[in-house]
Structure 1
Amino acid sequence: MDFALFCTRVNILFLLIALCSPCKFIQSPMDFGPLNFHQTTDTSSLDFGRIVFDSPSAVLRPQSPKEISLLLGFLSASSFSKVTVAARGAGHSIDGQAQALDGIVIEMDSLPSTISIHRGRESGSSYADVSGGALWIELLRESLRFGLAPRSWTDYLYLSVGGTLSNGGISGQTFKHGPQISNVLQLDVVTGKGEQVTCSPTESSELFFAALGGLGQFGIITRARILLQDAPPKVKWVRAFYDDFETFTEDQELLVAMPDAVDYVEGFILLNEQSLHSSSVAFPSHLEFTPEFDSNGSNYRVYHCIEFAIHDYQVESTDVEQVVTEISRKMSHIPSHFYSVEVSYFDFLNRVRMEEVSLRSRGLWEVAHPWLNLFVPKSGIREFKDLLLDNISPTDFEGLVLIYPLLRDKWDANSSAVLPDGGGRAEEQVMYIVGVLRSANPATCAAQCLRDLLRRRRRVAKVATDPRIGAKQYLARHPSQGQWQDHFGRHWDRFVARKAQFDPLSILAPGQGIFPRTYASSS
């Protein structure tokens, strides 16, 4: 055996003894051969949700995927160890999914942020090789230098590539190009056994599809090859307002049925003046829209907004303004409330950054976020909307309620992502993503208030995922394995089999709460 590798394993052994000790005496950075472990950091037990705070016993800031491989390989061969490992990207989880109580957190942002752009000669052959800890905003900036960009995005770009690919990655382009996990050509993954594997749809395909949407359960994504397309210089960004929910959803479905003309579709519910203001921060146009919200909260009127966008490649053969006019004639929005602006492609994709700046200025960014995200079948969306409004007080709601349609056939059924059952009906090709993106303002919502919001969130989720509505949670953390089994439904056996193949000791992603840690049969 290589002497350096032997020394590394001996040093990790001492680390494991420290981690398993009831004294928990890891208090300072320690150098174990090539692996430099740190004491817990301010971020290692903190995420965007600020609801769960599980502290690890140590933090690894790797300089290469090999260091991750060494750690996981040793843990998987240690018969006495019960240490778990969580990979932390940008820390945008909601319920501690990237935390590891008394375990080890791997901070992926310490890996060198490498981005390599490859322009293909034919359409659809360009791609980017990106390290797993890099942020999507970094990929956007680099790819635009070549006139290219990924096809599918998240609304907020300051998230890690490996993090969103471990969940799904959705935004207003998903109806057209699918989620981010449907736009990946290749991955480098370190499995729970410490194996470094390059995988694709044709090479180690089981691991490739397992890791995409796999919640970090099968391996840690250290590199991804992302499909690119030509980037437009400009985007025509449109907003239309509604006072009727059915008309609002009908027009959204009209737009997603026009993928040759429309490039982005989202929508949101306006509950009060605050939600109107927060949703309009980034839109660079004066909205002369003054809905009459009932300040008493009884029999209040709810408004809705559709926003869609058209890429403007600025070619003479295409009149984007005329395209917008033709689309608007087919819609049934409030006639006097239709607005459009032209912005750069970068500014459009980075629009949520302005909302972040606004929230930070008001002290509403680094607060608790009892968010709830659900995929809701088309057949259940009206009932879900009623359920949601019955459990929200419009007078004190701070945040945004997103709601927009996705198309099932844009998702690869081989991936680990879970969607609602189609119900065997043709119309169930359409489903909706609903994001209740709430901020718990500490000035008006103390501990008891937050507990009440979390109870309401559980109540809505429970009713919504009942077969009557048939929704599935997105970015979930369920409290028991039985509930995870219900979540995966007919795909549970496949998920379990993949876990047994790639992380048999359940070392990875303990914060998801899916599998209890097991032990090796031999050292």
Structure 2
Amino acid sequence: MDISLLYNKVNAFILLLILSCPYTIIQKPIDFASLNLIQTTNTASTDFGRIKFNAPASVLKPQTPKDIAFLLSFLSISSFPQVSVSARGAGHSIHGQAQALDGIVIEMSSLPRDIKVNKNVKMERGLMISYVDVSGGALWIDVLKESLKFGLAPRSWTDYLYLTIGGTLSNGGISGQTFKYGPQIANVLQLDVVTGKGEMVTCSPTKSSELFYAVLGGLGQFGIITRARILLQDAPEKVRWQRAFYDDFDTFTEDQEILISMPELIDYVEGFVVLNEHSLKSSSVAFPANLNFNPKFVLNGRFKVYYCIEFAIHDNQAEGIKVEKVVEEFAQKLSYMQSHLYSVEISYFDFLNRVSMEEQSLRNRGLWEVPHPWLNLFVPRSGIKKFMDLLMENISPNEFEGPILVYPLLSDKWNTNASVALPQAIESRTDRVMYVVGMLRSINPTVCESDCLNKILRKHRYIALTATGPHIGAKQYLAHHPSPVDWHSHFGSKWIRFAERKARFDPLHILGPGQGIFS
């Protein structure tokens, strides 16, 4: 398709409609011309996954949220053939979720990245809290740097910090702190949102609450987050970071659940599968200590798999917690492989920013700007052993490149009013624990070309279909489904509410075409 021709047609039609539009909300052609609507679509047609490449007709680089509202309000009231719109943050989606084929992509990074920290604000009933007001296009790494100047930090994180606020809040936002504080969407006090109808709304749990909960985990279907108010807490200066190794999966998960049962002492829990020598070395890039661990990955002609738990304790002397004593106490409770508990003290900033070192390592090896056929799932505790059996039957341990994360979360830290789809056992609270499983592969295109990549994608699809069936009861996180019918199944009992929210806040289905949820 000739994108330049399409671009000119789109803008010609828009200008013509503005001139003849009877609605007073569109005042004159110069209003639309003032929007930074450009034809440069190269970055907007790709993402971190590098699997789909859907080019938009135009890209909007808004200077204020009003620019976004103007565009969406015009599209929602015009008789112009439907134009779809996607908001793009850091472009870290995997399957083109932030792309808009022949539509308009809004580059959220062009908004001013305002970050304002408010410390010890008196709320109702004398409650004192701290929070940060931040643009939806700002990065979490910038929020961390600014809040640390005040001795504060958000409570819940993602592993990788070079993602936008609006992007992670539109999905959930999880990491090793989620068992203790809930996902990032559970730590939001207020949002500014532009709906699919172009309405600018400030919402919270008590004000326009339906929109508030709809956009949290809403996959960009109901509105575009232009500003968020995020809860802060006192930040420690240092973190005690521990790693323990296992050769038995049941023991590995049992010890993880021991750790998350004591949130008053433990601040972070994650785990990963050690499939091969490469996964052991790559996972140790950011851990600033020598791991004297030399496992045998082939025993009696069969592959042997190992596991690692990593947990962290904030060195918060003001709270009187003796970190060394806590480490010693848990070392006695855990059943890791003897002599394979490793410990290091690191600054809080470096701990939270640890994945940037792994990023640099991958960049140095030419494995960052390559296809990433990632698969992420929420698996209820009742199905995690069956899932791991399924996984090991469908991957080659000696060939897999990239980490496989496995760590537990608690159901009571999730607000079911939010749009995120959780396993039915979690929604109904019949299972209190669910596991995050993240298969985070990097594909070297010189070794694995298109046929190879498609084979991996088909295998991942099979794993996902089997895991989300009744035998295991999982749900995809950062989901990708091939049709609206599959999305209906994904949301399950939440589908009716999800569809009703869509009809209310984006009735013309303008937003989020890359997700493929609505036809």
Q: Tell me the TM-score range normalised by the shorter chain.
A: over 0.9
Rounded to whole Å, the distance in 2 between the matches of 1:332 and 1:241 is 9
Check whether the contact 1:295–1:395 (CA below 8 A) recurs between aligned residues.
no
The residue number in structure 1 matching 2:222 is 218
Structure 2 match to 1:307: 310
Secondary structure at the aligned position of 1:55 is classed as coil
Confirm whether residue 384 of structure 1 aligns to residue 418 of structure 2.
no
Quote how far apart the aligned CAs of 1:124 are.
Answer: 6.1
Superposition TM-score, scaled by structure 2 size: 0.93
Distance 1:17 1:160 in 2: 34
Contact 1:31 1:37 in 2 (8 A): no
Tell me if structure 2 keeps the 8 A contact 1:11–1:33.
Answer: no
> Matched residues, percent identical?
67
Distance of 1:60 and 1:94 partners within structure 2: 22
Give the Cα–Cα distance (whole angstroms) in 2 for the partners of residues 295 and 195 of structure 1: 62
The reply on whether 1:287 has 2:285 as its aligned counterpart is no
Query: What residue in structure 1 maps to residue 192 of structure 2?
Result: 188
Q: Render the CA deviation track for 1:437-461: whole Å, top value 9, x for unaligned.
A: 0011112111111011001000100
Query: Which residue in 1 is equivalent to 2:138?
Result: 134
SS of match in other structure, 1:321: helix
1:477 deviation in Å?
1.7
Would you say the 8 A contact 1:270–1:303 is kept in 2?
A: yes
Distance 2:426 2:316 in 1: 40
One-letter amino acid of the structure 2 residue matched with residue 380 of structure 1: G
Q: How does 1:196-235 map to 2 (within 5 A)?
A: 196-235=200-239
What amino acid is aligned across from residue 276 of structure 2 in structure 1? N
Q: Please tell me whether residue 105 in structure 1 is matched to residue 108 in structure 2.
A: no
Report the alpha carbon displacement of residue 173 of structure 1 after superposing the two structures with TM. Answer: 0.2
Contact 1:477 / 1:512 at 8 angstroms: preserved in 2? yes
Q: CA deviation at 1:11?
A: 7.1
Q: Which runs of 5+ in 1 are unaligned?
A: 1-9, 19-29, 517-523
1:347 paired to 2:377: no
* Structure 1 residues 442 and 124, CA gap change in structure 2 (3 angstroms): farther
- Equivalent in the alignment of 2:476: 473
Structure 1 residue 14: deviation in Å? 2.9
* Cα deviation, residue 423, structure 1: 7.1
Match of 1:445 in 2: 448
List runs of 5+ in structure 2 lacking aligned partners: 1-9, 19-29
CA offsets, 1:184-219, max 9 Å, x none? 000000000000000000000000000000000000
One-letter amino acid matched to 1:310: I
Find the counterpart in structure 1 of residue 410 from structure 2. Answer: 407
Please show how residues 500-519 of structure 1 align to structure 2 within 5 Å.
500-516=503-519
* Structure 1 residue runs of 4 or more that deviate by more than 6 Å after TM superposition: 423-427
Which digits, 9 at most, give the CA deviation of each residue in 1:263-294, with x for residues without a partner? 00000000001100111000000000011112
Aligned to 1:37: 37
Separation (CA, whole Å) in 1 of partners of 2:15 and 2:445:
39
Check conservation: 1:86, 1:508, Cα contact below 8 A: yes
What RMSD over aligned residues (CA atoms) do the two structures have, in Å? Answer: 1.9
Any conservation in 2 of the 1:124–1:229 contact (CA below 8 Å)? no
Distance 1:510 1:121, change over 3 A: closer
> Which residue does the alignment assign to 1:334?
337
User: Which residue number in structure 1 is paired with residue 68 of structure 2?
Assistant: 68
Higher mean alpha-carbon deviation, 123-132 vs 506-515, is at 123-132
Aligned to 1:115: 115
Among 252, 259, 266, the residue aligned to 1:262: 266
CA contact 2:118–2:131 (8 Å) conserved in 1:
yes
Deviation readout 1:70-96 (Å, 9 max, x if unpaired): 000000011232110000000000000
The residue number in structure 2 matching 1:320 is 323
From the superposition, tell whether residues 223 and 444 of structure 1 become closer, same or farther in structure 2 (CA, over 3 Å): same
- The corresponding residue for 1:428 is 431
2:369 to 366, 369, 372: 366
Q: Check the 8 A contact 1:12/1:71 in 2, yes or no.
A: no
Shift of 1:317: 3.4
Q: CA deviation at 1:330?
A: 0.3
Write the deviation string for residues 343-385 of structure 1: whole angstroms up to 9, x where unpaired: 0000000000000000000000000000000000100000000
Q: What letter corresponds to residue 341 of structure 1 in structure 2?
A: V
What residue number does 1:4 align with? none
What whole-Å deviation, never above 9, does each CA across 1:38-78 have from its counterpart, x for those lacking one? 11332110100000100000000000000000000000011
Aligned partner of 1:271 in structure 2 is: 275
